[in-house]
Structures are given as C-alpha cells and as structure tokens.
Amino acid sequence: MSRSSTQFWLMKSEPDVYGIADLERDGREPWNGIRNYQARNFLRDAMAAGDLALFYHSNATPPGVAGVMRIDSGPEPDGLAFDPDSNYFDAKSDPEEPVWIQRQVAFVAAFESFVTLADLREDPELEGMLVTRKGQRLSIQPVEEAHFWRICRKGGLTKKAVLEKSGQ
DNA sequence: GCCAACGTTGGC
DNA sequence: GCCAACGTTGGC
C-alpha cells in the first residue's frame, strides 16, 4: 500500500556532472551541493523518505526529464560544506549547526524515452509547471501528482510500473 | 558564447 | 532598508 501522503518533486542535475546513468550505476547517492535556500528548505523540511522525484537533466542538449528516483533518507548535513577543498565549501555551515542539507536518493527507473523540456511545454495538461516557466532556476521543485504521472507516461512508464520499481 | 532572470553581497 | 554590482543558473 502506498502512502497517501507521498509527495512529488523535480530535481535538476547537469548530466555532464551527474546524470541518470550515474544514479542507475550507483543505485543510491547523496543529493548534495544544493546552495539555494528555497531548495534547501524543500530538502530539509518538505520532503519525506519515500517521496518520488523526476530526475531532470539541466544544461543538456536537449534539457528534460530522464527518469525517476526515490527520496531514500531523512535530511542529513551536507558534508561538502565543511570541506575547504570542495567547490561547495561554505564557512557559514559547521557540523554543530549545518546550513546546507542533503538527502540520499535511490534509483527507480530510467525513462524509455527522454521527455524534453519542449515536450513539457507543448503539453496542455502540464500547463503551470514551474520548470516550464521562463527564467526559473529553482533546482528542487514540487510537482503536482497528476503532472508527475503524466510525465512518467510520456517517458514510457505506467504508474503501476513506477510504483513497482520504487518498492511502493 | 550570449544573456535573461534571478539570488547574494556589501556600501551607504 | 535600499539598491547597485556581481555571481550563478540554465535555456537557447
């Protein structure tokens, strides 16, 4: 039985840095390096383990949704913020009172067909999605449930298939 | 590479 | 608190 409170998300990563194929290989990875407060607040406060997220390839040709993953932990301190050698180092964050937060994410499925940003924009049923709004940059966004399943379907996966693969 | 749309920083 | 300068994101 799936939790009725499952929430749905879209999370961006540049595939040159870390893409769906990397997550499929690794199985489970920390989603870290988020340095925007609005995105941090979603990571820290709004997500729950078991939530499902669209894996979005940003800065790609073309950009779009590549698959599905599952939020697989509670909020954890983002250790990169404590490492002076990391690009994501932030002196404001210390282990006693971490400013930046990560979640573990687990691979669920790669889409059979990549759903491009243009595909999202031209589908009237997806009107109002944040990701299609010009100029928006938020790297972690809530997604309406109906939009989530519609995008999975466009990617070649039924709701049933996604729920089975996600263990829910 | 360009640049619009932000978010952050810091002087005042 | 205002806002100009600057840095970043990310589509194109």
Q: Does position A3 have pLDDT exceeding 90, yes or no?
A: no
Q: Is the CB of A137 under 7 A from strand C?
A: yes
Cis peptide before A62 (omega within 30 of 0): yes
Tokens describing residue A158: 């039924």
Asked whether the beta carbons of A12 and A58 are under 8 A apart, the reply is yes
Q: Is the CB of A60 under 7 A from strand C?
A: yes
Cβ-Cβ contacts under 8 Å for A41 (sequence gap 6 or more): none
pTM of this prediction? 0.94
The nt closest to A138 (CA vs C1′) is C9
CA of A142 to C1' of B11 (A): 37
The nt closest to A36 (CA vs C1′) is B7
The nt closest to A140 (CA vs C1′) is C9
Q: Does position A29 have pLDDT exceeding 80, yes or no?
A: yes
Strand partners, A64: A57, A116
Asked whether the beta carbons of A62 and A118 are under 8 A apart, the reply is yes
Q: How confident is the model at residue A44 (pLDDT cuts 50, 70, 90)?
A: very high
**pLDDT tens-digit profile of A59-91?**
999 999 999 999 999 999 999 998 888 888 888
Name all domains of chain A by residue range, CATH numbers in brackets.
8-161 (3.10.590.10)
